[in-house]
Amino acid sequence: MHLFFSVGEPSGDQHAAQLLTAIRSRIANVRYTGFGGPLMEQTGFENLYRLTDLAIMGIGGVVPVVGTFYKQYRRAKEFLHREKPDAVVLVDCPGFNWWIASAAKALKIPTLYYLPPQLWAWAPWRIRKVRKWVDVILAALPFEAEWYRGRGIDTEYVGHPFFDEVAHHPLDHAFLDRCRWGEHGHAVRTVGILPGSRRAEVERNFPVMLRVMQRLARKHSDVRFRIACYKESQRAYCRQALSGEFARLPV
């Protein structure tokens, strides 16, 4: 069996890597090719291009790399025509993945969308593209599955991979106690800060979050902040940003 994956975001790389591992544990002799990230590569994935390195946010981020996206689309189109994989699996990144879906449809290659675009939240009119180019939706949430089914799309509810992650990692009660009582045993209110998984996302969101954190800290003396960083490079960026007027924030 040969499966072609197209994954364009760091979080998608994580989820797709888990999916690849699960498939391989059940089906022998599976070949994985396409676009993905470093976590997928660790499972034996043949990466044509690290599309996750281009993870962008907003039209301003698209313009500098649109030529690269188009070049990789042409590359994928030629690869699909030459190799004829058994199926194409799309993960996140709808802008680019619509191109891949259309190419697969033209070659009559079955196309599945794992963790599909949240059209129910921001673009319900784009359901036409799903009907035209996608054969099966693999939905992460129960209501999402019902939403797609209600619009005539063949849909399977497969669950969200984050739930599996939580189930396999027990709670750290010592950490939770620190969140409740602080370092010196005084009751505190902890606010989680999640700036994102993409570099452009973090660089756009975190400066705004810092201003909000500053206002909260001035208003509530018992507030403490915990910042979740997806990569070490993002951790370094956030640490550097926590300087100057933000150096005294209770992080």
- Of 131, 165, 199, which residue constitutes the final position of a domain? 165
Task: Let me know whether 182 and 133 are in one domain.
Answer: no
Q: How many other CB atoms are found less than 10 A from the CB of residue 86?
A: 12
Task: Let me know whether 122 and 27 are in one domain.
Answer: yes
Task: Let me know whether 156 and 97 are in one domain.
Answer: yes
Q: Are 7 and 52 in contact (CB under 8 A)?
A: yes
Strand, coil or helix: 189: strand
- Residue 177 is which amino acid? D
pLDDT digits (tens, 9 = 90+) for 15-49: 999 999 999 999 989 999 999 999 999 999 999 99
Mean pLDDT of 92-117: 95
Task: Let me know whether 28 and 151 are in one domain.
Answer: yes
- Of 137, 165, 193, which residue constitutes the final position of a domain? 165
pLDDT digits (tens, 9 = 90+) for 153-208: 999 999 888 877 777 777 788 888 888 877 677 788 999 999 987 788 898 899 99
Task: Let me know whether 28 and 102 are in one domain.
Answer: yes
Task: Let me know whether 186 and 203 are in one domain.
Answer: yes
Strand, coil or helix: 84: coil
Task: Let me know whether 222 and 237 are in one domain.
Answer: yes
Distance CA 158, CA 137 (A): 10
Task: Identify whether 251 is part of a domain.
Answer: no
- How many angstroms from the chain centroid is the CA of residue 94? 11
Number of domains in the chain: 2
Task: Let me know whether 225 and 158 are in one domain.
Answer: no
* pLDDT band at residue 60 using 50, 70 and 90 as cut-offs: very low
Spell 167-199 as b/e; 16+ CB within 10 A means b.
eeeeeeeeeeebbeebeeeeebebbebebbbbb
Domain range for residue 175?
Answer: 171-246
Task: Identify whether 131 is part of a domain.
Answer: yes
Task: Let me know whether 156 and 93 are in one domain.
Answer: yes
| Per-residue model confidence (pLDDT) at position 112 | 98
Task: Let me know whether 241 and 181 are in one domain.
Answer: yes
Task: Let me know whether 85 and 121 are in one domain.
Answer: yes
Task: Let me know whether 132 and 227 are in one domain.
Answer: no
pTM: 0.78
